[in-house]
Amino acid sequence: MLGPRLLAALCGALLCASGLRAASGDFCDSSQCLNGGTCLLGQDNTPFYCLCPQGFTGLICNETEKGPCFPNPCHNDAECQVIDDLHRGDVFTQYVCQCPHGYIGTHCEITCAMPLGMETGSIADSQISASSVHLGFMGLQRWAPELARLHRTGIVNAWTASNYDKNPWIQVNLMRKMRVTGVVTQGASRAGSAEYLKTFKVAYSVNGRKFQFIQDAEGTGDKIFVGNMDNNGLKVNLFDFPLEVQYVRLVPIICHRGCTLRFELLGCELNGCAEPLGMKDNTIPDKQITASSIYRTWGLNAFSWYPFYARLDKQGKFNAWTAQTNDASEWLQVDLGFQRQVTGIITQGARDFGHIQYVAAYKVAYSNDSKNWTEYKDQGAIEGKAHKWQKHLHLLIPGKPFLIGGHLGLMNCCEEAAGAQGQGGPCDIQLNINSLLVLILLPGSR
């Protein structure tokens, strides 16, 4: 269908033509039209028309065509490009935003360079594999792939390939297709010497069987990424285009001493529905976080573990919620304020005066009125282990057990609802709810 401006331009041309036939001449003094416009005789109260060259518009071709890229509709310093310049007047057909690294979306409005979980432990040990493992100190030190987590500490704190491995690699199974936009690499120190990857390649797969490498800008071969220069610094490599994959494999090319690596993957969910809803940054205010009870150390109000302390990475001596009793009747509730889409929960434990507190199992219920509650159905309770410092993302997936394969803390817990505000993306499952209730089934400590 012709746009209104195009119709106006055509109508103007027809009027010009009619004026041309009705007038004594066809062309007029083109000096009346600016920027190289052609003057055509008109009629009645319109003595002439200006036929403007491409790029100009206005009655006398005195205005520059702006088109859809002015003002720039793209976000985050993205470049707006008109992809079809066949236009008249200021009628453009289409444009595209060339997103900078780390951004996606029609207008580059979505940040897609978030850590995917290597450092925090959201990516479980079982999801990380490698072609080989170096065994040091008479075979007692195992530099395993699950140790290849950014900033990991300890004597054995990274993955190292075997000295006999001629084609080493390490890979991550994300368990579902995700957008991967980059990688952060870090070396480590082994036996007192710095080891790291100088260069490497990145391969990817959707099924774990057939892999292909990221290609260079010319498309003539595999892209070689520049790695680290020492054992402790971080090197960020963002991909030219996001990968929509389940498996990501790093392949060392040149290593300093040994092929030793700690790393993190960057990206985001495919559905764009994994943004924090506000527990950590206090967008959800204290008054909207309640609990069945509050524990007070030594019975003192000054040493209370309030429910609104249940925020990820909260610092201080009192940095989490603790229930008064150690039984299955306790709960923590978050009032989201209005109906929102919830697609998962991130949990984290804490320490009470030197004692690690955690929950071995819990369930989730939800409501739209804080009175009638519906339990999230799965094939059992959520299971976990006791480590206070790791954060774990638990997605709500229909038809699958809502099980946790790593560590979690919830009794002394911090918790983050992960979802989206008013987006409606195609998540696996979205609970459109006003309130979320965490029911403790099996508390514990050590």
CATH number assigned to the domain comprising residue 70: 2.10.25.10
Q: Is 106 within the bounds of a domain?
A: no
Predicted confidence at residue 92, as pLDDT, reads 45
Q: Which two tokens stand for residue 411?
A: 């009794």
User: Please, which pLDDT band fits residue 439 given cuts at 50, 70 and 90?
Assistant: low
CA distance 376 to 372: 13
Each residue's pLDDT tens digit, 279-334: 888 888 999 999 889 988 888 888 888 999 988 878 777 888 888 887 778 888 88
**Are 160 and 291 found together in one domain?**
no
Residues 286 and 433 grouped into a single domain: yes
Q: What is the pLDDT of residues 43-84, one digit of tens each?
A: 766 778 888 887 788 888 888 877 778 788 898 889 998 876
Q: What is the pLDDT of residue 396?
A: 52
Same domain, 265 and 125: yes
> Of 269, 294, 314, which residue is a domain's last?
269
Kindly state the tokens that stand for 392: 């774990």
Q: How far apart are CA 163 and CA 342, in angstroms?
A: 47
Q: Which tens digits make up the pLDDT trace of 170-221? A: 999 999 999 999 999 999 999 899 999 999 999 999 999 999 999 998 889 9
Mean residue pLDDT of the chain comes to: 77
pLDDT for residue 381: 54
Final residue in a domain of this structure, among 231, 251, 269? 269
Same domain, yes or no: 324 and 418 = yes
Which phi and psi (to 5°) does residue 301 adopt? -60, -30
Tell me: do 259 and 234 sit in the same domain. Answer: yes
pLDDT tens column, 238-254:
999 899 999 999 999 99
Element containing residue 231 per DSSP (H, E): none
Position 234 pLDDT exceeds 90 = yes
- Please answer whether residues 396 and 346 qualify as being in contact, where contact means their C-beta atoms are separated by less than 8 angstroms: no
CATH code for the domain in which residue 200 is found: 2.60.120.260
Residue 193 sits in the same domain as residue 58: no
The answer to whether residue 54 sits within a structural domain is: yes
CB burial class (10 A; 0-12, 13-18, 19+) of residue 284? buried
Predicted confidence band of residue 409 (pLDDT cuts 50, 70, 90)? very low
Which residue range is the domain that position 261 belongs to?
120-269
- Say if 113 falls within a structural domain: no
- What are 347's strand-pairing partners? 392, 415
Taking residues 151-156, report their average pLDDT.
95
Percent of the chain with pLDDT over 90: 33
Q: By the 8 A CB rule, do 244 and 177 touch?
A: yes
pLDDT digits (tens, 9 = 90+) for 327-386: 778 888 888 887 777 777 777 777 666 666 766 677 888 888 888 888 877 645 555 444
Question: Does the residue 196 lie in any domain?
Answer: yes
Query: 331 and 345: one domain?
Result: yes
Q: Give pLDDT, residue 222.
A: 98
Percent of the chain with pLDDT over 70: 72
Q: What is the pLDDT of residue 20?
A: 37
Cα dihedral across residues 394, 399, 400, 401: positive or negative: positive
| Residue 179 identity (one-letter amino acid) | R
Q: How high is the pLDDT of residue 6?
A: 41
The radius of gyration of the chain from alpha carbons, rounded to an integer in Å, stands at: 30
Q: Is residue 287 part of a domain?
A: yes
- Considering only the C-alpha atoms of the chain, give the largest distance between any 2 of them, rounded to a whole number of Å: 105
Domain boundary among 269, 284, 308: 269
Q: Which residue has the higher pLDDT, 402 or 333?
A: 333
Give the total number of structural domains in the chain.
3
Distance of CA 26 to the CA centre of its chain: 61
Tokens in use for 11? 């109508």
Whether 324 maps to a domain, the answer reads yes
Cα–Cα distance for residue pair 53/61, rounded to 1 Å: 8
Distance, CA of 24 to CA of 19 (rounded, Å): 9
Q: Does 198 lie in the same domain as 65?
A: no
Asked if residue 303 is part of any domain, the answer here is yes
Q: Which residues of 207-246 are buried (b: 16+ CB within 10 A; e: fewer)?
A: eeeebeebeeeeeeeebbbebbeebeeebebebeebbebb
Tell me the pLDDT band of 159, cut-offs 50, 70 and 90.
very high
Residues 343 and 327 in one domain: yes
On whether the pTM is more than 0.85, the answer is no
Q: Looking at the structure, do residues 260 and 280 belong to the same domain, yes or no?
A: no
Residues 287 and 399 both lie in one domain: yes
More confident residue, 17 or 209: 209
Same domain, 305 and 217: no
Please, which pLDDT band fits residue 442 given cuts at 50, 70 and 90? low
Q: Per-residue DSSP letters for 310-356? A: --TT--SSS-SB--SSSSTT-EEEEEEEEEEEEEEEEEE-EEETTEE
pLDDT of residue 104: 81
107 part of a folded domain: no
d(Cα 330, Cα 320) in Å, to the nearest integer?
15
Grade residue 427 by pLDDT with cuts at 50, 70 and 90. Answer: very low
Q: Give the type of residue at 101.
A: H
Q: Per the structure block, which two tokens stand in for 85? A: 């310049």
